[in-house]
């Protein structure tokens, strides 16, 4: 399996590190806005080709599939371009930043029959997999999820603290993780409400947001998001269930009393990004739908669109 990776920034390198651990996978092309950056990352990971032009990479015979780690606003258009070029594609979360674009991506996937997977990493983190297995086994049912997504980003910077050319978004990016995970764990979302704080005068986005969700099972979710929080950073999930409480911090899990739970046996790796990439590769090889296919995560974007409409109103 020969992969092209577009977006050679902080998150792109996380995917490249994960791909190194998957058998019979090579990186053939790196695409970045900055050619020197593309060449540097290509040298580091052994890719023969580097470019600033996605179309140039898509025209290559040594590219079977593409992973898109590009700015949010480019995801839908680039995912469609990959599939129209006959390439399987994994697009990092979010699939799109509006409902119309999300619908267009699903339409092209259905027309081409190619694998189109979205990087909803929470479905793959061992911590959340552990909880999901208990839910599907009938051992627990979610009553409430309390989630905090906190960062300190008052400028356009990436996960490494480096400047970037695009503006992140609490709703269409960071809330997407929790909206999809809540539905994955508790059932289809039937009610959603949102409020937001002041708009940043330079970035043009809300820096604080609160979201309430209710699923068809009756479970509820409260999600707090902020770009103003000066530590600790990241997302913290509390599952309040009918038979136990669990707190997930990325790939780590504890119970309600903060007692560690060993999740090292849940999957072949403790790295959620690597597990996400393993699923992408396996789905292509086996000719099946991946766990976070565009179809499976599609309803998340319906909910985000409804919330966006509320906030705009």
Note whether 168 and 151 are same-domain residues: yes
Instruction: Examine residue 301 and state whether it is found in any structural domain, yes or no.
Output: no
The pTM score is 0.95
Listed residue (145, 95, 143) closest to 120, CA to CA: 95
**pLDDT at position 154, please?**
87
* pLDDT of the residue at 159: 64
Measured CA to CA, the distance from residue 223 to residue 237 in angstroms comes to 9
Per-residue confidence in pLDDT tens, the chain, 313 aa: 999 999 998 899 999 999 999 999 999 999 999 999 999 999 999 999 999 999 999 999 999 999 999 999 999 999 999 999 999 999 999 999 999 999 999 999 999 999 999 999 999 999 999 999 999 999 999 999 999 999 998 887 766 677 767 778 999 999 999 999 999 999 999 999 999 999 999 899 999 999 999 999 999 999 999 999 998 889 999 999 999 999 998 889 999 999 999 999 999 999 999 999 999 999 999 999 999 999 999 999 999 999 999 999 9
Closest by alpha carbon to 206, among 170, 164, 161, 182? Answer: 170
Per-residue b or e along 250-275, where b marks 16 or more CB atoms closer than 10 Å to that residue's CB: bbebeeeeeeebebeebbebbbbbbb
Q: What sign does the CA torsion over 166, 274, 119, 182 have? A: negative
Which DSSP state fits 161?
Answer: S
In this structure, are 142 and 254 located in the same domain? yes
The boundaries of the domain holding residue 87 are 2-120+273-293
**Do 74 and 184 fall into the same domain?**
no
Q: Provide the pLDDT for residue 162.
A: 74
DSSP 72: G
CA-to-CA distance for 5 and 20, rounded, in angstroms?
Answer: 13
94 lies in a domain? yes
Tell whether the torsion through CA atoms of 29, 30, 33 and 39 is positive or negative: negative
Terminal C-alpha separation, the chain: 46
CA–CA dist 113, 127 (Å, integer): 32
Judge contact between 79 and 16, C-beta under 8 A.
no
In 3D space, the residue among 70, 108, 74 whose CA is nearest the CA of residue 88 turns out to be 108
Residues 206 and 92 in one domain: no
What is the enclosing helix (H) or strand (E) of 249? strand 244-249
Q: Are 176 and 304 in contact (CB under 8 A)?
A: yes
Q: What are the φ and ψ backbone dihedral angles of 238, each rounded to 5 degrees? A: -110, 120
CATH of the domain at 254: 3.30.360.10
Burial class (CB in 10 A: 0-12, 13-18, 19+), 61: exposed
For 113-129, b where at least 16 C-beta lie within 10 A, e where not — what string? ebbbbbbbbbbbbbbbb
Same-domain pairing of 285 and 257:
no
CB atoms within 10 A of CB 285: 11
Same structural domain, 41 and 70: yes
Structure confidence at residue 4 (pLDDT): 98
- Which of 244, 97, 82 has its CA nearest to residue 167? 97
Residues 88 and 103 in one domain: yes
User: How many independent structural domains does the chain possess?
Assistant: 2
| Cα 246-251-252 angle, rounded to 5 deg | 45
Residues 78 and 179 in one domain: no
Considering the domain architecture, whether residues 157 and 113 belong to the same structural domain is answered as no
Rounded distance between C-alpha atoms, residue 279 and residue 285, angstroms: 10
Residue 49 belongs to a domain with what CATH number? 3.40.50.720
């Amino acid at each position: 399996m020969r992969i092209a990776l577009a977006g050679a920034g902080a998150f792109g390198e996380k995917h490249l590190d994960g791909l190194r651990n998957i058998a019979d996978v090579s990186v053939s092309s790196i695409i970045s806005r900055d050619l020197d950056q593309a060449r540097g990352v290509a040298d580091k990971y052994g890719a023969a080709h580097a470019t600033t032009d996605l179309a140039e990479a898509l025209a290559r015979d040594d590219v079977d599939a593409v992973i898109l780690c590009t700015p949010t606003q480019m995801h839908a258009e680039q995912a469609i371009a990959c599939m129209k070029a006959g390439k399987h594609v994994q697009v990092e979360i979010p699939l799109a930043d509006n409902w119309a674009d999300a619908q267009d991506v699903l339409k092209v996937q259905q027309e081409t029959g190619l694998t189109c997977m979205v990087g909803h990493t929470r479905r793959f983190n061992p911590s959340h997999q552990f909880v999901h297995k208990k839910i599907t086994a009938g051992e627990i049912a979610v009553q409430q999820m309390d989630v905090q997504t906190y960062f300190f980003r008052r400028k356009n910077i990436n996960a490494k603290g480096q400047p970037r050319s695009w503006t992140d978004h609490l709703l269409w990016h960071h809330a997407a993780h929790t909206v999809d995970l809540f539905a994955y764990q508790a059932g289809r979302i039937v009610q959603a409400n949102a409020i937001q704080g002041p708009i940043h005068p330079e970035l043009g986005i809300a820096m604080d947001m609160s979201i309430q969700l209710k699923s068809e099972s009756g479970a509820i979710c409260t999600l707090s998001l902020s770009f103003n929080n000066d530590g600790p950073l990241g997302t913290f999930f509390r599952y309040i269930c009918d038979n136990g409480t669990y707190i997930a911090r990325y790939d780590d899990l504890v119970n309600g009393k903060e007692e560690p739970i060993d999740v090292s046996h849940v999957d072949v790796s403790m790295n959620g990004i690597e597990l996400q990439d393993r699923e992408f590769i396996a789905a292509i090889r086996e000719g099946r739908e991946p766990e976070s296919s565009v179809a499976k995560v599609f309803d998340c974007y319906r909910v985000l669109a409804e919330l966006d409409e509320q906030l705009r109103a």
